[in-house]
A and B are shown apart, each in its own frame.
Chain A
Amino acid sequence: MSVAAHGGAAAAAANYIFPNDLHVHWSLMIVLYPYITGLVAGAFIVSSLYHVFHIKALKPVARFSLLFALAFLICATWPLLNHLGRPERALSMMLTPNPTSAMAGFGYIYSAYFIVLLLEIIFIFRPTVVALRQKATGFMKTVYGILAIGSDNVSAKSLKLDHKIISFLAAIGIPMACLLHGYVGFIFGGIKANPLWATPLMPLIFLLSACVSGIAGIIVTYILLMKISGKEIDVDCVQTLIKFLWGFFILDFVFEMLELFSHFYMANHHWHTLETLYSGPLYNTFWVFQIGIFSVIPFFLLMLMSLIRFKDSLLLFFAPIVSIMILVQVLLMRWNVVVGGQLMSKSERGATTFHPMWLEKEGILPAIIIMIAPVVILWIIGKILPFWMDDEGVEAA
């Protein structure tokens, strides 16, 4: 056997890791960061499907998905701040940014998106807020006063202007949501030193998985909140969401597999590193869980639910299950990309291991707290702004 042909196997046998590669620097916090921003971008897309593309069936969740996006957007920077070695210098990224750094753009893109989302919520809820302000007393009256941005004019002319502003904000919000998450993909996709990350498809895969996770998140919370409050679930809305979920998931899953297949088919020296990773440390989290259980099963379930008209009770039984599976799939995908990519040593001769701890600074417990926080914030927002109020009803009043 020639030396060259033997190179790959020999490299695997040696298992040498560069001494500085033993430690995985980007751990759970950096897994959560794209996961949370993905939920934000996806939820915003749901809202835009109604506000811009006039998918009428999505009306019941159009407002709620904006508030859902806001709650998660507020927490999007938390894992990053917890991860930074010097969080007190975080603002330097915005004050003295390095223009060639992909990371330096985050502060600007995040802030711009935050402003657009906040403005859209303010204008959509303005008539509601004006009505609520009249009934409120004390502290809440002040809160509604701020949210109404000092105007209680709900005349037809004023509302018409509001509508124009809302349409404009929703329209620029779509490219911004795409930019926000496509950009997060580029943070990884632009790192040529890491063969698992360095692919032009990375922003696209991140964006599509963001849409998928956002839609799934809305389905789960909508059904859950309706069940808790004993309200009637709009089956047509759920059915439409499932169809969109399937559509986006087809694209997402196909591109994820295409990316892998292209590497496999071209089989350059990067593939030999990736091959040992996928068949070794990532075998369970990637092949068994991300692909086998949480992609293939939801894929066929979604197909059935989209093509065959299920009985309402059956649809409402499977919709949250398939959505939760999709949410797990996206989380696993983030894990396999972020942590998986770092397991390979740049020595191209071996992989390190990573097991998250419960109580360390970037451990499992802080991760759980950061994932619960948006839910708590959403609950607080729900105390101020109604999730489900009917658009037309308020405007008529």
Chain B
Amino acid sequence: MIDIKMEIQKDRRAFIKNVLSGTIAGSLLMVIPAGAALDERLPEQIPGMRGDDSTFTEKKFAFVVDVTACIGCGSCCVADKNEYNVPDGNYRTWVERYIIDDHDEVFVDSPNGGLDGYTKPRTDIPYPVRDTFFVPKLCNMCEKPSCVQVCPVGATYRTEDGFILIDKNRCVGCGYCIQACPYSVRFLNPVSRTAEKCTWCYHRVREGLLPACVNVCPVHARKFGDLNDKKSEVYKILREPHVISVLKPSMGNRPALHYLGLRREVV
């Protein structure tokens, strides 16, 4: 307690200075009609996105999922369903639950895509559980995307900054991309009758905001950022000696979705 009091007394002068300058600066900003101060948008979450009006940014986006952090709450799935009004029974993102018993049997499930969270334990595991973890799944945003290769009309395309997007006004609804995607992230929207999938919230990212699922994750298991930005968290994670994998590397699709601490049981 005494230490804290001493600290406060020591900084009192600096504190008053800060309050004063803050008040003056704040008052000035209210008087001077500066655009930045009147920006009613949410604070920028991805540095350097606002004010970049080029068709494709110079950035190289990556997504990192920390398997060791995910608690399977399903918040990401709820945020995603709300963001896109995803029809029931179809999933732009989902969370899988892996359970490994002490006979090395692997049990995987994802009831309702994990949308309702994992509030109850599985009761059908015959032997004591050795290990359990959750794996969120979403679009892998491949560098060599099979879906873009097979789309007969070019409705699915890859932007230069690494997003795979679908033009629903061009899609013919043939379902070829659904067959071609090794990760089964695509579905046919029953209302628009066109293909749909996770976009890593392209519309949010262009506004400098993080994808909806990243934004809501309470344990920071989903991370998103620019690999060209050396200060970004994803750059640091992928550069440091972590256990990093992608899904189905033998497919040769080179996903931009990376998993931190991924286990070999995960497909």
Contacts and interface: CB of A to CB of B under 8 A. Distances in A.
A98 B153 contact: yes
Contacts of B32: none
Contact of A85 (B112, B154, B188): B188
A72 to B, nearest CB: 21
A346 B184 contact: yes
A14 B106 contact: yes
B222 interface: no
A194 interface: yes
Interface in A93-110: 93, 96-98, 100-104, 106
B116 interface: no
Contact of A84 (B105, B148, B173): B173
B239 interface: no
B110 interface: yes
Interface residues of A, number: 47
A14 B266 CA distance: 13
B90 interface: yes
Given A20-B187, A193-B179, A93 B152 contact: yes
B152 A98 contact: yes
B105 A6 contact: yes
A85 B193 contact: yes
A50 interface: no
Contacts of A16: 96, 107-110
Contacts of A194: 179
Interface residues of B, number: 48
A86 B172 contact: yes
Interface in A1-53: 1, 3, 6-7, 10-11, 13-14, 16, 18-23, 25-26
Interface in A68-91: 83-87, 89-90
B183 interface: yes
Contacts of A345: 184
Contacts of B91: 19-20
A221 to B, nearest CB: 32
A35 B192 CA distance: 29
Nearest to A92: B153
A90 B148 CA distance: 18
Contact of B171 (A25, A86, A103): A86
B105 A103 contact: no
A347 interface: yes
A239 interface: no
Nearest to B109: A16
A334 interface: no
B184 A100 contact: no
Nearest to B193: A85
A42 to B, nearest CB: 25
28 contacts: A13-B105, A14-B105, A16-B109, A18-B184, A19-B94, A19-B113, A22-B89, A25-B178, A83-B174, A85-B172, A85-B173, A85-B193, A86-B173, A86-B194, A89-B153, A96-B153, A98-B153, A98-B154, A100-B150, A101-B149, A101-B152, A103-B174, A106-B152, A194-B179, A345-B184, A346-B183, A348-B267, A349-B267
Given A84-B172, A191-B179, 14 more contacts: A10-B105, A23-B89, A25-B188, A89-B172, A98-B151, A100-B148, A100-B150, A101-B149, A104-B153, A192-B182, A193-B181, A194-B179, A346-B182, A346-B183
